[in-house]
Chain A
Amino acid sequence: MSDTQEVDIIDQVVSQEYKYGFTTDIEMDSAPMGLSEEIVRFISAKKNEPEWMLEWRLKAYRYWLTLEEPNWQNFKLAPIDYQKIIYYAAPKEKIKLDSLDQVDPELLKTFEKLGISLTEQKRLTGVAVDAVFDSVSIATTFKDQLAEKGVIFCAISEALHEHPELVKKYIGSVVPYTDNYFSALNAAVFSDGSFVYIPKGVRCPMELSTYFRINAENTGQFERTLIIADDNSYVSYLEGCTAPMRDENQLHAAVVELVAMEKAEIKYSTVQNWYPGDKDGKGGIYNFVTKRGSCEGAHSKISWTQVETGSAITWKYPSCILKGDYSNGEFFSVAVTNNMQQADTGTKMIHIGKNTKSRIVSKGISAGKSHNTYRGLVKVNKKAENARNHTQCDSMLIGSRSGAHTFPYLEISNNTATVEHEASTSKIGEDQIFYCNQRGIGTEEAIGLIVNGFCKEVLNQLPMEFAVEAQKLLAVSLEGSVG
């Protein structure tokens, strides 16, 4: 096919409307715009937090003031004016909710529209949901059933009051506020997020899921998620997210910390569909997130699966610190960029314990004029005898104006390590599309089919209920990108 035809095709497939771009009209209780010690105190007071929490926030804030925004990333970022962001916005009327009946019907409707029913009988069986709207958690479903098994699943603001000892012990233990610019900012101003604790020997009886929705204008979302899996426990957790279409960029700077004790396993999946901006690159979410898990105990396992289709910029490296002997870290990623989107994502696998194993499978798909970067670090410490890593890093280009980049870093300090890296770059061929066309499959379906085939290894890692969603999402985000 000639170049001009190819370009037409790409333009068509890349210009699909964002389906979740609506806004909810609801009265909000917001902090004044801008960031200061006052704001940090304001947020802490809103949450009625214990003194130690406020102190921690203030330390983080003061530390943040000494930092400069990082600039090593492989994308262009216009300076962010941190004084033009609203750091706290919550729907009014939320006093203390005892049951779902008290949730504002407007909010319930919003989540229904997003396909997230908070009414338990309508929920997918086997999935408990925590719904976060702007700065607060609205509702958590199936709490009672989970409590029977001793599983704690609630908003982190609630955990601060109900289980302060757990929060105090683990918050910042995996991602300290000193870790990086955005983790410091998050520690200062985080407003809500999910908290999970799985007691010893318990296999969490259902999938846990948090759904994040940014609604209010000019606000940033700074949630914090903390998941602790005690000895011999198992949990599978999934997060999803959407935001309205707005012309300005909105910042989402979350922190996720996972702690897996001896023989515990945490499976963390993300289907990220923040508003990506329009096709000229106006608006969209800046998704700058710090996610890290610590395999504290021997034989523990942490597995990250991410399907990243949204956001104007995605900048994150869900990582595993493999402290326990025989611990195991996995990272499965699909990152799709289209139009003017940019992504710089990957993982860090830090091998500390003996006989630790890690596996990285990254699939990057770039269409339109977008750029997609894989950046990954595999580090094997001196004492990490017999560490093993396998990295597979595949890029797919759609059209001729997109870019794929790969930056694999290796730091190996122990010569018993086995580290393998495979990489490939391919282009969706016009031949492949024509072949599908000739069998009666239209171009958009063909791209969906080819892309899903390319990502199969990663999609197979998602919980069943979400794998189908993710497949559709991939097809939709590339709609209009080839023809």
Chain B
Amino acid sequence: MLSIKNLKAEIEGKKILNGLNLEVKAGEVHAIMGPNGAGKSTLSAVLAGRADYEVTEGTVDFDGKDLLELSPEDRAREGVFLAFQYPIEIPGVSNTNFLKTAINEKRKYQGLEPMEATDFLKMMREKMELVEMDKSLTSRSLNEGFSGGEKKRNEIFQMAMLEPKLGILDETDSGLDIDALRLVSEGVNKLRNKERSFIVITHYQRLLDYIVPDFVHVLYKGRIVKSGDASLAKELEEKGYDWIKQEVEANS
């Protein structure tokens, strides 16, 4: 489903990703961990198509399409969803209106008619229940005045509504207390299925107690330097990142 080969990217001339390789198959959950400044958020930004990052080398194949050639909105319409570390506020635009626009833009891209209002509302109700989203949040302005936890839950709710093929969670656990973390994780787990893949970017292991990954990768200096299963995350939690750094330095 997603195949990243030798990806190199920079921002304002500063090299961040230095030949990253990653294969994600349908239904798999991959966790990307790593120390601060390793390039974790850059990876999510490059996959989503943020214009301030320049890809200098490498390829990203998404379901047979050259992802890097697509505009950010077309990537989204093809099924890439990024749950933002810092979700953006848009005053005066209700969540409902925002999602209706997003869904209908995607449908237009797929050559479909806009969704009937009744079908849309039904879908809203179902997905709200699924991710235990508070009803009042959908009629309020998008993320405006939401608490940190509410914003993150809203990201998961949007993901549920847009039904992507690939969900990228960018440090979704940051700033969440333990209850909010559990709620958000449960939402994600309910969205896991055989078709849908996830890339879970996190600094801490605790999120992975709730969202148990199939693979864990350690990102350091813009490359994946170590991969393993969920137990690797535990090891990192105990030992920190220093031993990985030393390993990398020794090998180079």
Contacts and interface: CB of A to CB of B under 8 A. Distances in A.
B49 A437 contact: yes
A449 B90 contact: yes
B141 interface: yes
Contacts of B81: 438
Contacts of B49: 437-438
A2 B52 contact: yes
Contact of A438 (B52, B72, B90, B142): B72
Contacts of B77: 440
B88 A429 contact: yes
Interface stretch (A10-18, A54-62, A452-460): A452-460
B82 A438 contact: yes
Given A437-B49, A437-B72, A454 B105 contact: no
A438 B101 contact: no
B128 to A, nearest CB: 17
Contacts of A450: 90, 93
Contacts of A2: 12, 51-52
Interface string A1-31: 1100100000000000000000000000000
Given A449-B93, A453-B93, A441 B105 contact: yes
Interface in B85-144: 87-88, 90-93, 97-99, 101-103, 105-106, 109, 141-142
Nearest to A6: B51
Interface in B47-105: 48-52, 71-73, 75-77, 81-82, 84, 87-88, 90-93, 97-99, 101-103, 105
A440 B76 contact: yes
Contact of A439 (B52, B102, B141): B102
B52 A445 contact: no
Interface in A311-358: none
Given A2-B52, A435-B84, A442 B73 contact: yes
A445 B114 CA distance: 15
Interface of A is mostly: helix
A361 to B, nearest CB: 12
A436 B81 CA distance: 11
Nearest to A450: B90
Contacts of B162: 439-440
A456 B139 CA distance: 14
A435 B87 contact: yes
Contacts of A431: 88
25 contacts: A2-B12, A2-B51, A429-B88, A432-B90, A434-B48, A434-B50, A435-B87, A435-B88, A435-B90, A436-B90, A437-B49, A438-B81, A438-B82, A440-B103, A440-B105, A441-B73, A441-B101, A442-B73, A449-B90, A449-B93, A449-B97, A453-B92, A453-B142, A454-B91, A454-B92
Interface of B: 12, 48-52, 71-73, 75-77, 81-82, 84, 87-88, 90-93, 97-99, 101-103, 105-106, 109, 141-142, 158, 162
Q: Which 10 A-B pairs have the closest CB atoms?
A: A453-B92, A453-B93, A440-B76, A437-B72, A435-B88, A439-B102, A456-B92, A440-B106, A440-B77, A437-B73
